[in-house]
Amino acid sequence: MKQLKITLLFLFTLSTVISYGQKVKIKKGIISINKQEYGKIEDDKSVRGSFYINDLKDSNLLYFKWIAVDGLNYYEIYKADDLDNILYEEQAVMGFRKYMVKKLYNAEALTKSGLDLTKLDNLAKKMGKEFSRIRNRGY
């Protein structure tokens, strides 16, 4: 009986997690969340590993610049219209593009109409610029 209760609790928890998780897909450069298009990803051919997130009208929203120096691999995230000021930094991981879309969507910064700049600024304040601080200290 105890085993049955544990199994039912596990299945209930699993079904709850699955039902609330969003389905993020990036296929042929199109970002879709729960089968609705939110934007596009465009590679920056001039800087290896770097890319843009665009809205559905192909206007650049965010720029992700890949940095690989002194054993650090991370991305600097910029507003596409302000490449002089880093918003924040994020560690480069496998599946980074999908990871960032989820992060922006969950922070409510990425919307169907583009970016919510207030939510984006809040996310940037939380994330910070730890990697460039480490790099500048020489660690």
Helix H, strand E, coil C: the string for 46-86 is CCCCCEEEECCCCCEEEEEEEEEECCEEEEEEEECCEEEEE
pLDDT tens-place string over residues 102-129: 999 999 998 888 899 999 999 998 888 8
pLDDT tens-place string over residues 23-47: 988 889 889 889 888 899 999 999 8
Q: How many CB atoms lie within 10 A of CB 47?
A: 13
pLDDT tens-place string over residues 41-72: 999 999 899 999 998 888 899 999 998 887 88
Point out which residues pair with 25 in neighbouring strands: 32
Q: Per the structure block, which two tokens stand in for 57?
A: 């009208």
**Closest Cα partner for 38 from 65, 62, 66?**
62
Q: What pLDDT shows up at residue 130?
A: 82
What is the Cα–Cα distance from 46 to 57, expressed in whole angstroms?
A: 22
What is the Cα–Cα distance from 98 to 62, expressed in whole angstroms?
A: 14
Q: What pLDDT shows up at residue 19?
A: 45
Mean pLDDT, rounded, for 95-108: 92
In 3-139, which ranges are E strands?
Answer: 24-27, 30-33, 36-43, 51-54, 60-69, 72-79, 82-91, 110-111, 114-115
pTM value? 0.76
